[in-house]
Amino acid sequence: MDKLVIEGGKSLRGEVTVSGAKNAVLPILAATLLTEEPCVIKGVPNLRDTNTMLKILRSLGKNAEFDKGTVRVTQAKETNFVADYKLVSTMRASFCVLGPLLGKLKKAKVSLPGGCVIGVRPVDLHLKGFKALGTEITIEGGYVNAVAKNLKGNRMYLGGAYGSSVLATDNVMMAAVLAKGKTIIESAACEPEVVDLAEFLIKMGAKIKGYGTPIIEIEGVKYLHGAEHRIIPDRIEAGTFIIAALITRGDITIKNVMFQHLGALIDKLEEAGAHISRTDGSMRVRSRKRLTPINITTLPYPGFPTDIQAQIMSLMTVTPGISVITEKIYPDRFMHVAELNRMGAHIQREGPHAIVEGIKHLSGAPVMASDLRASAGLVLAGLAAKGLTSVSRIYHLERGYENMEMKLQALGAKIWREKE
């Protein structure tokens, strides 16, 4: 296993290009199961999670070649309807092969993904949606068996205790595109990655309206064909580099970015005093003065993303004053708090709130990554800290950030990889 070692205190300067969005590419690759015709997906980030999804597609009967950011998916043999525990348990997003398998074959057997370090993460909303489409669901031996003799459009409400669900919306939408008649998903997730999936499905011949709003309408079709698509830029990676510029008092130009996907983050950072300017397809982030504390509550899109909560917390640890960060999507997503405190941060957790008392500087320490975004938060803290920080278990980071250390090195960071 590798760890990342960071010598903090360098201001990051220069240009960085954001990769394709992890949370868009995973369901879009799953959607290729809806057709036997070839599909070409461009702008694909080379991530551990992308490669897991390609393995799953191969296990389900596809050929999937990945070369220089382009994935070509073709049919190798008859589609297999069983998604194995070994693959699904390593990545929650693999559960979203259930929808396309059900749409195409009217049956699927997919392992339940299980919990993870950021919380229980149930799939009840996915199953509720499939049942509404006339699917019989049984759970046996850790697998979901889904059979639909007559997959039929229906009206359904997919809001849960924490609001809408991104992957449940994706999953059910992928089944409904090949159902008979009209489906209406109420309380659908509005995330840009759901929109990207809907746009890919439309290129395949699906009839979908209202995507990007809480009410999605799908008119089922009989057949979907192959399509070509380019993945949207990763707004979470972009957000991480925006914070990297601010936490190191640097000046970074971020390319391949969709400004409109980052509204909540930019608004909060401007409130804190950050200087963010927009040019065509890129943005420049500068830290001209010390920031002031801000309060943040994570919410479904267009609210503040939970996937940037750990990173903004790192920024607030070195922003003198009190900030309150409230997590409303995953109330237990605070594994990074204890690690940041090991670096000298003053953070107190009270239920879904983290109260951060910002100090002048952190001091480097050995810390451990517990999940993908927590790892990013710790790397950012290391960039700002005095002395050496080592972040172990960086395989988490590799799940969702393409070439993170190389991109940071190019911006002037002193960061390198060592064996643990």
The interface with ligand UD1 within residues 175-214 (CB under 6 A) comprises 189, 193
Within 13 Å of residue 329, how many CA atoms lie on the same side as its CB? 19
The interface with ligand UD1 within residues 267-306 (CB under 6 A) comprises 306
417/392 Cα distance (integer angstroms): 10
CA distances from 15 to 74, 253, 254, 397, 412 (A): 36, 5, 6, 21, 10
Name the one range near ligand UD1 by CB under 6 A: 80-88, 143-151, 154-162, 375-383.
154-162
User: In the complex, what is the shortest distance from the CB of residue 223 to ligand UD1, in angstroms, rounded to a whole number?
Assistant: 27
User: In the complex, what is the shortest distance from the CB of residue 372 to ligand UD1, in angstroms, rounded to a whole number?
Assistant: 8
Find residue 108's DSSP bridge partners.
146
240/236 Cα distance (integer angstroms): 6
CA distances from 298 to 340, 370, 406 (A): 19, 19, 29
Single out the residue of 327, 375, 301, 385 nearest to residue 2, CA to CA.
375
Between 195 and 318, CB nearer to ligand UD1: 195
198/190 Cα distance (integer angstroms): 11
User: In the complex, what is the shortest distance from the CB of residue 280 to ligand UD1, in angstroms, rounded to a whole number?
Assistant: 28
Binding mask 322-341 for ligand UD1 (x = CB under 6 A): -------xx-----------
Strand order in the sheet with 275-279: 13-17, 251-255, 282-286, 275-279
Name the one range near ligand UD1 by CB under 6 A: 58-66, 147-155, 163-171, 212-220.
163-171
Residue given tokens 């190019």 in the structure block: 410
| Binding status of residue 397 toward ligand UD1 by CB under 6 A | no
| Binding status of residue 92 toward ligand UD1 by CB under 6 A | yes
Give yes or no: 116 in active site.
yes
Between 193 and 339, CB nearer to ligand UD1: 193
| Binding status of residue 307 toward ligand UD1 by CB under 6 A | yes
Query: Encoding tokens for residue 196?
Result: 């990207």
| Binding status of residue 217 toward ligand UD1 by CB under 6 A | no
| Binding status of residue 125 toward ligand UD1 by CB under 6 A | yes
| Binding status of residue 123 toward ligand UD1 by CB under 6 A | yes
Dihedral sign (CA 264, 121, 352, 373)? negative
Select from 57, 83, 93, 276 the one that contacts ligand UD1 (CB under 6 A).
93
Q: CB–CB of 69/55 below 8 Å?
A: no
Name the one range near ligand UD1 by CB under 6 A: 66-74, 99-107, 115-123, 262-270.
115-123
User: In the complex, what is the shortest distance from the CB of residue 39 to ligand UD1, in angstroms, rounded to a whole number?
Assistant: 19
Label residues 401-410 b or e (16+ Cβ within 10 Å = b). bbbbbebbee
| Binding status of residue 368 toward ligand UD1 by CB under 6 A | no
Select from 162, 263, 297, 414 the one that contacts ligand UD1 (CB under 6 A).
162
Q: CB–CB of 167/158 below 8 Å?
A: no
Between 319 and 398, CB nearer to ligand UD1: 398
Instruction: Say how far residue 54 (Cα) sits from the centre of its chain.
Output: 17
Residue given tokens 């000046």 in the structure block: 251
User: In the complex, what is the shortest distance from the CB of residue 333 to ligand UD1, in angstroms, rounded to a whole number?
Assistant: 8
Residue given tokens 């509550």 in the structure block: 297
Q: Which residues contact ligand UD1 (rule: CB under 6 A)?
A: 23, 26, 92-93, 119, 121-126, 160-162, 165-168, 189, 193, 306-307, 329-330
- Active-site residue set: 116
